[in-house]
Amino acid sequence: MKKILLFAAVLATGNLFSQIIYNDIVDSTYSGNYDAYIDIDGDMTDDFLIHGENVATTSFNFVEGGNVGSTNQVLEQQSLSVKVLSANDVIGSNSSLWFTLSSSNTTMTSFNNGTPIAGLWDNQTDKYLGVHFYIGATQHYGWIRVSTGSQDNTLTIKDFAYNTTAGDSILAGQTVITSVDGLEKNTIKLYPNPVTNQLFVENVAVKNYTLFNIGGQLITSGQFNGNSIDLSSVDAGIYFVELVDENNNKTRSKIIIE
């Protein structure tokens, strides 16, 4: 039996700025007999387990209940069948159906001689599991992005994320809050990202900027002149840049400095 432990490799973090913790892992593809343990919040305690088996003419995988995360939940399409979510589907308290992993397993795929006999996850690309789990006594919602093979239990786990604000919903695939204090991020163009020297900004009249590290520490700030920010003297790493426009609206974006 092959055991794969997937844990948080945080790329977007900091409760000061974003309610979303996004964990980008090396894509892990496996099939046959395996256990994939997922520690979605990086606290060294497994939150979910996807189990796969290949026995004679039958292959299957499922989210296992009872042994890992017994109080946690996963979204189902119907009884004992894990729901397939697309990007931007809402994951939250009003989502249905939530299945508690207290004892029973809930199926992703099951095949007999390559023919699907149960589950909805055959040949899915970049789809999402909706999950609900506990950090201490608080409840959090998140997603796990996976792709699956055709007519077998091959599975690739790609990344996952959760909302750090207890009880707040998250969109499937969401990695950051899309706007802060009225300035819409989708109107702004930041490039290149990753950046080495000059970070160019388009589609917004920026008045000033502030750069923070992922721990929330102020690195640099200044008034915006021209159409770029000089970051040549900043050490390589992951940062948040806060932009303020002429109406004092703000937005914060993750950037990587190389």
Mean pLDDT of 141-147: 97
Instruction: Read off the amino acid at residue 108.
Output: M
Tell me the per-residue pLDDT of 58-92, one tens digit each, with 9 for 90 and over.
Answer: 999 999 998 899 999 999 999 999 999 999 899 99
Residue 251 pLDDT greater than 80, yes or no = no
Residue 11 pLDDT greater than 60, yes or no = no
116: cis peptide before it, omega within 30°? no
What gap in Å lies between CA 97 and CA 184, rounded to an integer?
A: 32
Tell me the per-residue pLDDT of 85-103, one tens digit each, with 9 for 90 and over.
Answer: 999 899 999 998 999 999 8
Residue 123 pLDDT greater than 70, yes or no = yes
End-to-end Cα, the chain, rounded Å? 39
- CATH value of 179-257 in 3.40.50.300, 1.10.3720.10, 2.60.40.1270, 1.10.10.10: 2.60.40.1270
Q: What is the DSSP letter of 133?
A: E
pLDDT-derived band at 187 (thresholds 50, 70, 90) equals low
pLDDT-derived band at 239 (thresholds 50, 70, 90) equals confident
194: cis peptide before it, omega within 30°? yes
Mean pLDDT of 150-166: 91
The predicted model scores a pTM of: 0.68
Tell me the per-residue pLDDT of 213-232, one tens digit each, with 9 for 90 and over.
Answer: 866 788 999 988 888 999 99
Domain ranges of the chain: 2-171, 179-257
